[in-house]
């Protein structure tokens, strides 16, 4: 990562300069700040569930970065978990388990007084698992299983050497 980061920054600046040089000539972008401000104010304050999602995302990023260690030692040396997918599944299960606040008679989460609020299900409700396109997940899993079988059996090595 120490090698690739400066190179990525240089390439990013080169691509930005290229686009500005060849595609941004004479274009004037006018932004209506009042519309942006109105849309921003209509969002309201950040809810408890949104803070939970922000925190779990930051936790997942932190666990991914420190898994193999920043220097020579990482937390995976203690637990010996197989891949980064384990961290992602842990955070996903955490979102199903962590309780969400819901007002009585309200289907969503909004600001509520402490006497009206109750906790139901998780930040991800149980019916959200029904909205997942399981066909794509099974297709990807099958592809990963076939690839692992090719590597384990040596087929990919023998095909690569021909």
* Count of C-beta atoms within a 10 Å radius of residue 121: 15
**Would you state the torsion angle of the CA atoms of residues 112, 118, 123, 128, taken in this order, to the nearest 10 degrees?**
-110
Query: With contact defined as beta carbons under 8 Å apart, do 91 and 60 qualify?
Result: yes
Please write the tens of the pLDDT for every residue from 106-150: 444 444 455 555 667 778 887 888 888 889 989 999 999 999 999
The whole-number pLDDT of residue 109 equals: 46
Please count the other Cβ atoms lying within 10 Å of the Cβ belonging to residue 100.
19
Flag whether the pTM goes above 0.85: no
């Amino acid at each position: 990562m120490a090698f690739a980061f400066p190179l990525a920054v240089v390439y990013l600046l080169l691509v930005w300069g290229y686009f500005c040089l060849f595609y941004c000539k004479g274009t004037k972008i006018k932004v209506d700040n009042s519309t942006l401000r109105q849309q921003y104010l209509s969002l309201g304050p950040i809810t408890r569930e949104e803070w939970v999602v922000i925190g779990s995302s930051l936790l997942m990023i932190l666990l991914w970065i420190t898994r193999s260690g920043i220097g020579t030692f990482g937390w995976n040396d203690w637990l010996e978990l197989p891949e980064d997918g384990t961290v992602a599944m842990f955070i996903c299960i955490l979102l199903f388990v962590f309780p969400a606040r819901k007002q009585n008679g309200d289907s969503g989460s909004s600001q509520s007084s402490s006497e009206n609020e109750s906790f139901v299900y998780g930040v991800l409700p149980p019916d959200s698992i029904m909205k997942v396109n399981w066909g794509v997940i099974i297709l990807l899993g099958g592809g990963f299983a076939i690839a692992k079988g090719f590597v384990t059996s040596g087929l990919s090595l023998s095909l690569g050497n021909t």
